[in-house]
Chain A
Amino acid sequence: MYTISSKLKVFSFVLIIVGLLGIGYSFISAPKTTADVEKILEAEAHGHHGAHDAHAHDAHGHDVHSAEAHAEHEEHLLHVLHQLQNKPWAALYVAAIFFMLISLGALAFYAIQNVAQAGWSPVLFRVMQGITAYLPWGSAIFFILLVLSALHFNHLFVWMDPELVNPESPKFDKLLNGKIGYLNEWFWLIRAAVFIIGWNLYRYFSRKNCLAQDEASDNAFYKKNFNISAGFLVFFIVTESIMSWDWIMSVDPHWFSTLFGWYVFASFFVSGITVIAMVTLYLKSRGYLEHVNTSHIHDLAKFMFGISVFWTYLWFSQFMLIWYSNIPEEVTYFVTRIEQYNLPFFGMVAMNFIFPFLILINTDFKRITWVLVMAGVVILLGHYVDFFNMIMPATVGDRWFIGIGEIGSLLFFLGLFILIVFTALTKAPLLPKRNPFIEESKHFHY
């Protein structure tokens, strides 16, 4: 049995507290009114050459243009206010969805291993189950965030603004009005609830059956797990696709892409596998995984390598198709990202593709702990940036910054993740007893 070390516990509590302080600070320091924004913009302008413009603006006080200019300025202030008010919310949202999807990715990997009757992985099943233990908590927190969005606590989802679908309003948006049958708060929340409940049910029962199989005298529970895993994978791939439209693509409700679901899937799937590898390495280094050898690690590293390349393939396919045809209504998605998010947008390609590709292509490296940990950290950070790039441009625009709010949210969820995962690992023996493939898995050698 694994026992969580007190150091790890303290570490995760520190992360949670520091993260909460960061989140709290970012909410408190967000501007409340356009007057605050005016001050921020002025402070920024003084730093730049733009200071001149501000003064010129005041000097021409009373001519006809000024009323128009004033209204425009007010509109700009309101726009920036919304972006800045979104910032702490978006930071929280990105970190929440990132960690929830990591455990979902690990769950999908676990289901695939069950269905594929993989002979190498059963010794890692309890590690995977430990990681997916975050899912109920993470998805509950995430659902609360969705409900808060639907209750207009924030402006993350622009289509939730009732003015936009009101034909009488000057803000009326015909395109959004056309999508109202799909993009409306109630239907959106019900879908989210169905998906989250479905995933959690699979997680709950597969864990239960796996533990029951330990004590059983036949393979009935194993077969049951096989069947529900197959069912889950069908459910998963449908809900995953819809989930990516609902929770990620709909922050840009004027834009759509057909391979988006796969792209999001590849991103969190590789993150989930990376986390499995890193937790395995940690437990192994503490002497808890007797039967895990370098061949198991090697296999996980191959998955990290392969799915990283798969992610890149989808990233590039999505980017290149839109870049090539350059149709204005869809290319704006990448124009804003390249212009305003240049470093994160292209930096994540280096982190998610070039670095792991060059490091993990070597067979010997795939068995060296520190190489894998280094590659894993870069992959995880890279995929955080990936989610950052998907959410931020539509919610905070050019006001993005990886500051206290973003890092605080990341640390909070990281601490929560570590605490829940490693607590869950103490709940059951780390080696399944009666899995039909466990003997093969113990002696797995590549």
Chain B
Amino acid sequence: MSTKVIQALYNDDDILMDAVKETRKAHHHIEEVYTPFPVHGLDKAMGLAPTRLAIASFMYGCVGLSFATWMMNYIMIQDWPQDIGGKPSFSYIENMPAFVPIMFELTVFFAAHLMVITFYMRSKLWPFKEAENPDVRTTDDHFLMEVAVHNNEQELSDFLKKTGAVEIKVVEKH
């Protein structure tokens, strides 16, 4: 089954924001919006769910802290507890201040890198990935809103024209 979408192009982010709000009010489903730069408040206007990346990052940080603690405890306390310059290697807590810089850095390292990788995976971004850009102008100075068509092509394109679109395209998607 082939699905049709209407791509409405705008040349101003304020007009785009109003168009998004009107389109949502009229209960047309917005498939996607392409913008050259982040438009503040667009996600709220589109009704997108908030990101959970920060929660993931917090958990990755906990993993990093646990890893650092386990690693230093195993190496410095359990495996070979030798006396290095009089540092007390009898238990982890006794020598902990010396491990804190490592614990801190690994927490940050895990939290940052794993979150970035999560972001790449969730947004399906990788080298050699084929760009999904519907119109090259959206990376420079145009904004594009893609709305699904359900046998209401004429009505929908008239509606979008009224919201200030500078160009309307009907595209077959497969």
Partner of A326, one of B54, B86, B100: B86
Q: Does A144 contact B (CB under 8 A)?
A: no
A324, B58: Cβ atoms under 8 Å? no
Instruction: Kindly identify, within residues 359 to 380 of chain A, every residue whose CB is under 8 Å from any CB belonging to chain B.
Output: 361, 363
- Complex Cα distance, B86 from A192, in Å, reads 43
Q: Which listed residue (B54, B58, B86, B97) contacts A320, Cβ 8 A?
A: B97
* Inter-chain contacts of B100 with A (CB < 8 A): 316, 320
**Contact mask for chain A residues 69-94; partner B; CB cutoff 8 A; 1 contact, 0 none:** 00000000000000000000000000
In the assembled complex, the Cα of A326 lies from the Cα of B94 at a distance in Å of 14
Smallest CB–CB gap between B23 and chain A, Å? 24
How far apart are the CA atoms of A36 and B26 in the complex, in Å?
87
Asked if B98 CB lies within 8 Å of chain A CBs, one says yes
CB distance from B59 to the nearest CB of A (A): 12
In residues 317-375 of chain A, which contact B (Cβ within 8 Å)? 319-320, 323-324, 326, 361, 363
CB-nearest residue of chain B relative to A321?
B97
User: Are A319 and B97 in touch, CB under 8 angstroms?
Assistant: yes
Q: Which residues of B contact A323 (CB under 8 A)?
A: 97
Q: Which residues of A contact B97 (CB under 8 A)?
A: 316, 319-320, 323-324
A338 to B161, CA, bound (A): 74
- 0 or 1 for each of B72-115: is its CB under 8 Å from A? (1 = yes): 00000000000000100000000001101000000000000000
Contacting residues, chain A, for B54 (C-beta < 8 A): 363
A294 to chain B minimum Cβ distance, whole angstroms, is: 15
Contact B58–A361 (Cβ < 8 Å): yes
Cα distance, A319 to B97, chains bound together (Å): 9
- The chain B residue with its CB closest to the CB of A313 is B104
Residues in A whose Cβ lies below 8 Å from that of B98: 320, 324
Contacts of A363 in B (CB 8 A): 54
B58 / chain A contacts, CB cutoff of 8 Å: 361
Give Cα A361–Cα B100 distance, bound, in whole angstroms: 20
How many chain A residues touch B (Cβ–Cβ < 8 Å)?
Answer: 8
In chain B, positions 19-45 with a C-beta closer than 8 Å to chain A are none
CA distance A274 to B44 in the complex (A): 31
Q: Which residue of A has the minimal Cβ distance to B101?
A: A320
Determine the residue in chain A with the shortest Cβ distance to B55: A362
Is chain B's binding surface mostly helix, strand, loop or mixed?
A: helix
- Nearest B residue to A361 via CB reads B58
Shortest Cβ distance from residue A313 to the other chain B in the assembled complex, whole angstroms? 9
List the B side residues contacting A316 at CB < 8 Å.
97, 100
Inside 8 A of A326's CB, which chain B residues have their CB? 86
Which residues of B have CB within 8 Å of A361? Answer: 58
CB proximity of A18 to chain B, nearest CB, Å: 40
Of chain A, the residue at the smallest CB distance from B98 is A324
Contact with A along B124-168 (1 / 0, CB 8 A): 000000000000000000000000000000000000000000000
Inter-chain CA distance A97–B6, complex, in Å, is 68
A46–B100 Cα distance when bound, in Å, is: 44
Bound Cα distance A316, B100 (Å): 9
Question: In the complex the two chains form, what is the Cα distance from A324 to B100 in whole Å?
Answer: 12
Report Cα–Cα, A316/B54, bound state, in Å. 26
- The CA-CA distance from A363 to B50 in the complex, in Å, is 12
Nearest Cβ in chain A — how far from B56, in angstroms? 14
CA distance A133 to B12 in the complex (A): 49
The B43-80 residues at the A interface (CB cut-off 8 A) are: 54, 58
**Minimal Cβ-Cβ distance residue in B for A358:** B58
Task: Output the least CB separation between B89 and chain A (Å).
Answer: 14
Residue from B86, B97, B100 having most chain A Cβ neighbours under 10 A: B97
Q: How far is the CA of A361 from the CA of B111 in the complex (A)?
A: 14
Bound Cα distance from A323 to B98, whole angstroms = 9
Docked pose: A326 CA to B88 CA in angstroms: 12
Q: A338 to nearest B CB, angstroms?
A: 12
Residues of A within 8 A of B86 (CB): 326
Residue of A nearest to B86 (CB): A326
Which residues of B have CB within 8 Å of A324? 97-98
Task: Report A403 CB to chain B, min CB distance, Å.
Answer: 30
Closest CB in chain B relative to A35 CB, distance in Å: 43
Q: Which of A284-336 contact B (CB under 8 A)?
A: 316, 319-320, 323-324, 326
**Would you give the shortest CB distance from B45 to chain A, in whole angstroms?**
14
Query: Restricting to A232-246, which residues have a CB under 8 Å from any CB of B?
Result: none
The interface residues of chain B lying within 8 Å CB-to-CB of A320 are: 97-98, 100
Least Cβ distance of A1 to chain B in Å? 36
A319 / chain B contacts, CB cutoff of 8 Å: 97
Interface residues of A in 31-50 (CB under 8 A from B): none
Minimum CB distance partner of A319 in chain B: B97
Per the bound structure, the CA–CA distance linking A371 and B149 in Å amounts to: 47
Proximity bits, A207-234, B CB within 8 Å = 1, else 0: 0000000000000000000000000000
B171 to chain A: closest CB distance in Å? 36
CA distance A272 to B97 in the complex (A): 29
Min CB distance B96 to A, Å, is 10
Docked complex Cα distance between A106 and B58 (Å): 31
Q: How far, in whole Å, are A156 and B97 apart by their CA atoms in the complex?
A: 31
B11 to chain A, nearest CB (A): 26
In the bound complex, how far is the Cα of B88 from the Cα of A324, in angstroms?
Answer: 11
Known: A323-B97, A326-B86, A363-B54. 9 other contacts (CB 8 A): A316-B97, A316-B100, A319-B97, A320-B97, A320-B98, A320-B100, A324-B97, A324-B98, A361-B58
- 12 A-B residue pairings within 8 Å (CB atoms): A316-B97, A316-B100, A319-B97, A320-B97, A320-B98, A320-B100, A323-B97, A324-B97, A324-B98, A326-B86, A361-B58, A363-B54
Closest 7 CB pairs of A and B: A320-B97, A323-B97, A324-B98, A316-B100, A320-B100, A324-B97, A319-B97
